[in-house]
Amino acid sequence: MASAAPTMAHQNRKVARIAAAAALTMLGLGYASVPLYRMFCEATGLNGTTQRSSAEQAAGVKVTGQPITVRFDSNIASGLPWRFRPEQVSQDGRIGERKMAFFIAKNLSDRPITGRATFNVTPEQTGVYFHKIQCFCFNEQTLQPGQEVRMPVIYYVDPEMLNDRNARDVPEITLSYTFLEAADSIAPGTAKTRAKPLDRVALAR
């Protein structure tokens, strides 16, 4: 019986080490889950997450005769003193065709503000087929007091959508953006990434 106590203590320490290791593993998974979930959404189009393509990839896409309308929606998060709107409400095009749309943003405050745009498309099943070649949402945008910018998005709808029975009959896709202030928004008097000028090379065939 004398040796039972050390043996029990040893087992308790072993269990404690295993529990601590499990806790650290779960903590690590918690930190990794956000980027992993984002990567999963980008790969599958889950929750209307759109895809990102290069101009070279887009150049090999065949334009079809199938019409598609893309409607644009804009939103501002609470507390962000900006005005944000699409230059036009919708665009008609063909599946596979590269199109360019513009959004207008203006800083209504008296301080520089860095904004970040989140986005999605509806219906959700079209997200995996909606490709953006150039978009202001790829980078944070810093607007100076009173500054107004015209920001482009260049996109196309992948013809593969026509092979998906859950998406091929969709006549209209809504592309929605919401601007919110970046967590590390700049302080007055400093500079950061500013709204970038339009790169027309991305649209050229």
* CA angle in degrees (0–180, nearest 5) for 41-139-77: 75
pLDDT at 50: 73
Encode pLDDT of 61-99 as tens digits: 999 999 999 999 999 999 999 999 999 999 999 999 999
- pLDDT higher than 70, residue 6: no
Percent of the chain with pLDDT over 70: 65
- pLDDT higher than 80, residue 21: no
Q: What is the mean pLDDT of the chain?
A: 80
Average pLDDT, stretch 171-185? Answer: 92
pLDDT at 188: 47
Identify the weakest region by mean pLDDT among 7-11, 85-89, 165-169: 7-11
Terminal alpha carbon distance of the chain: 85
Average pLDDT, stretch 32-40? Answer: 39
- pTM of the predicted model, to two decimals? 0.69
- pLDDT higher than 50, residue 193: no
pLDDT at 203: 41
Rounded CA gap, 96 and 58, in Å?
Answer: 9
- pLDDT higher than 70, residue 158: yes
87: tokens are 């230059």
Average pLDDT, stretch 33-62? Answer: 63
Assign 198 a pLDDT band (cuts: 50, 70, 90).
very low
pLDDT at 130: 97
Between residues 13 and 136, which one has the greater pLDDT?
Answer: 136
Q: Which of 168, 174, 2 is nearest to 72 (CA)?
A: 174
* Sheet-wide strand order for 130-135: 51-52, 130-135, 148-157, 99-107, 82-86
- pLDDT higher than 50, residue 139: yes
Report residue 57 CA to chain centroid gap. Answer: 19
- Phi, psi (deg, nearest 5) at residue 46: -60, 140
pLDDT at 28: 55
Between residues 133 and 8, which one has the greater pLDDT?
Answer: 133
